[in-house]
Structure 1
Amino acid sequence: MSRTTPQPPRRRRAAVAAALAVAAPLILAACSDDTAASSDDEAWEPDRDIEWIVPYTPGGGFDTYSRGIAEVMQAGHLPDGVNIVVRNSPPLPQGIASMFNADPDGYTIGILPMPAAIAQEIQEPDLAQWTTSEFTVLGQVDENGYVVYVPDDSEFETIEDLIAAQDIRAITVEEGSSSALAGLATIQALDLDADVTYGAEGSAEVVTAALRGDADFFVYGSTDLVGFVESGDIRPLMYLGTEDQLPDNVDWLQDVPTAEEAGFPDLAGAVTELRVIVAPPDLPEPVAEYLRTALAETMADEEFVTWAEEAGRPIVPRTAEETEANIADQIEQMEELVPQLADG
């Protein structure tokens, strides 16, 4: 596998609140300048509920972040009486298409999984009813490096044990998801003798299947399964993110060998999940700026920072411009990686 470009460094968690406090006024000032330059009839704010689409089932990471943002945003950063209604819309292609093809009026937004969106577009161009690069980007709430996990009672104590094994089984969610991509990249990079079962509905089902013996290992996000690790149900064998992507508030992860340390530098950061907030293409600029401002205010809100800490969900907030750059980088990465995985 050829080397891929790692994602931009993860902000250290201890500095999140300070960084938000600095960034938010700049974002808001820019939005205020744009609004001042517009005529009154161009100004916009919502006067009814906003639908938030999650392309996964309830309870997973994307759903959890969405509901956390929605709770804080509607409580203090939208007009009185305007709520955010979270709608789960699996499977993944259906949810992404729902976000992309909705009316660009500000009343439909959602959380987009990257690189899953671009990977599915590349893999199934005739079926993907969206163009990833055309979404209206509002911001980013998190980026998530991956981990190779095994059940706690597994015979595999190290990643080397897994590499030496034969006829092993992996399990993941639907094909084309970010987790599935990370799993395939891991199998190829480590040359594992592994078969993959697809179709688990979410992280809990993946873990449950492994615990009952239906899989020997699985690849999932570093912040998605904290409770299962801390309870002793599963063990991490190797971290697939870069050193800069290590979340500070996941203590056990600090002692897990990285792909670089294990001798697989090309795997480090090859697949990193971004949780991106988007709206349909061609959203009018006053509407986009209103929503970007509301999102920036929400992620800078002490209530949201506190929610993230209590929920064990690190936040890596980025502006729309920074997020667009991240998406462009991932599109370039996946255009190289996805054909390699298909050939493997």
Structure 2
Amino acid sequence: MNSSVKKITVAAAIICSVLLGGCDSKGPSTQSSKAGNNQTSQASAAEFFKGKVLSIIVPYGPGGGYDQWARLISPYMQKYLGVSKVLVVNQPGGGGLVGTGKIYSAAPDGLTIGDTNAAGDVFSQLAKNAGVSFDVQKFNWLGRPDDDPHIIAVHLDGPYKSFSDLLQASAHGTTLKSLATGAGSSDYNAAVITLNSFKTRFQMVAAFSGSSSEKAAFLGGNGDTMSVSASDIAQIAQHAKPVLLIADEPFGKLADVPTVIDVAKKQNLPDSSIKLLHALVGVMAMGHAFFAPPGVPADRLAALRSAFQKSLADKEFVAATQKADLYLGYAPAAALEQETDTAMADGALFQPLLTASK
């Protein structure tokens, strides 16, 4: 996948996180002094978190992917951060914007973090959607736990068997109904940008508090398509057929599903559209990202990032994600920061299609 989230390696992140101050190219005496300062900072942060309660805000209702990741990681954050308890707090509304705003405006003491819809946040800010009360470039990213690409799926027993079938139906005057969570979510924007890029006739149906209610509506026979993550589809594989992967390379578990880039080239979309879809892929790769509000002291932020990374490497946590059919794939804070900056710089590419979706 040609995105900064993929390009920044986990190995580099691990090396740089050994010292809280990151990698340093200065001489041995400087490094020794810095290591001593880092040890003091680590001790200070550890003392602060000891016995405290950490809250993880989820911007969606219970049962969906964001809620699942937060609840899976909470006991391990407790283990590695040293807090006495971790509370998972669901704050649905506005396609994730309400809960994300709560994370962003929380007291910057390190005791509130959240599992946010990173791509949805970026697109909502670019589109200047009502309800945006944050600046994504000021998020204190902790990292991304998953490698879980987005897909567009159809009913397994429905009239459409491929994305080409959808395009043909649209070309003959059919208005496709596409399910997604609220208008601020990544799955909503992924569908809107993709369908607009292919000049498809469509109507978004986006009144769901999370992916669990979206899937329930789809299973009830609603909509022609559904925009969700690959892990969501794995849970309802007997009822849904993935027809398009929002990626620029095949995904192992769905190797037979064409990527949006391959389909765009086969449909002879202009280079400008293919460039936009590559940019979309990069933003969508940000996944179920965790962040802390702006202003968290550096030593506490470093402790949160370290605990997050250690949690993802914990053997019991890895086993739990496998049991839940989730696709583990760590990306460090630096990768998310870089992708956020790139996406905001690419705003001119996205805005026309985001505006057209309103």
TM-score range, shorter chain: 0.7 to 0.9
**Secondary structure of the equivalent of 1:237?**
strand
1:90 Cα deviation after fit: 1.0
Aligned to 1:65: 69
Q: Aligned to 1:170, which of 178, 184, 190?
A: 178
Quick one: which amino acid aligns to residue 83 of structure 1? K
The answer as to 2:191 corresponding to 1:195 is no
- Whether contact under 8 Å (1:21, 1:300) holds in the other structure is no
Aligned to 1:52: 56
- Whether contact under 8 Å (2:6, 2:331) holds in the other structure is no
The answer as to 2:7 corresponding to 1:7 is no
- Whether contact under 8 Å (1:171, 1:217) holds in the other structure is yes
Q: Aligned to 1:205, which of 196, 213, 238?
A: 213
Relative to the length of structure 2, the TM-score reads: 0.82
Structure with higher helix content: 2
Aligned to 1:14: none
* Rounded Cα–Cα distance in structure 1 between residues aligned with 2:296 and 2:44: 13
The answer as to 2:332 corresponding to 1:319 is yes
CA RMSD, Structure 1 to Structure 2 (Å): 2.7
- Whether contact under 8 Å (2:192, 2:353) holds in the other structure is no
* Rounded Cα–Cα distance in structure 2 between residues aligned with 1:100 and 1:186: 29
Aligned to 2:37: 37
Quick one: which amino acid aligns to residue 235 of structure 1? K
Q: Residues 324 and 178 from structure 1, CA distance in 2 versus in 1: closer, same or farther, beyond 3 angstroms? A: same
- Whether contact under 8 Å (2:180, 2:204) holds in the other structure is yes
Give aligned pairs, total: 324
**Secondary structure of the equivalent of 1:200?**
coil
**Secondary structure of the equivalent of 1:263?**
helix
Aligned to 1:304: 317
Q: Aligned to 2:143, which of 139, 158, 167?
A: 139
Which consecutive residues of structure 1, in runs of 5 or more, have no partner in the other structure?
12-18
The answer as to 2:308 corresponding to 1:295 is yes
Relative to the length of structure 1, the TM-score reads: 0.85
Q: Residues 59 and 309 from structure 1, CA distance in 2 versus in 1: closer, same or farther, beyond 3 angstroms? A: same
1:159 Cα deviation after fit: 1.5
* Rounded Cα–Cα distance in structure 2 between residues aligned with 1:21 and 1:297: 13
Q: Aligned to 1:238, which of 228, 244, 248?
A: 244
* Rounded Cα–Cα distance in structure 1 between residues aligned with 2:260 and 2:10: 30
1:65 Cα deviation after fit: 1.1
Deviations 1:158-188 (A, max 9, x none): 2221111112211211112100101101211
* Rounded Cα–Cα distance in structure 1 between residues aligned with 2:5 and 2:249: 8
Aligned to 1:15: none
- Whether contact under 8 Å (1:24, 1:300) holds in the other structure is no
1:212 Cα deviation after fit: 2.9
Aligned to 1:259: 260
Q: Residues 10 and 309 from structure 1, CA distance in 2 versus in 1: closer, same or farther, beyond 3 angstroms? A: farther
* Rounded Cα–Cα distance in structure 2 between residues aligned with 1:147 and 1:155: 18
Instruction: Decide which moves more: 254-263 or 309-318.
Output: 254-263
**Secondary structure of the equivalent of 1:325?**
helix
Identity between Structure 1 and Structure 2 (%): 23
1:333 Cα deviation after fit: 3.6
- Whether contact under 8 Å (2:20, 2:299) holds in the other structure is no
Instruction: Decide which moves more: 216-225 or 118-127.
Output: 118-127
Q: Residues 35 and 155 from structure 1, CA distance in 2 versus in 1: closer, same or farther, beyond 3 angstroms? A: same
Quick one: which amino acid aligns to residue 335 of structure 2? E
* Rounded Cα–Cα distance in structure 2 between residues aligned with 1:60 and 1:88: 11
Q: Residues 208 and 319 from structure 1, CA distance in 2 versus in 1: closer, same or farther, beyond 3 angstroms? A: closer
Quick one: which amino acid aligns to residue 254 of structure 1? A
Q: Aligned to 1:86, which of 85, 88, 108?
A: 88
Deviations 1:219-241 (A, max 9, x none): 21122221101xx1111112121
- Whether contact under 8 Å (1:150, 1:217) holds in the other structure is yes
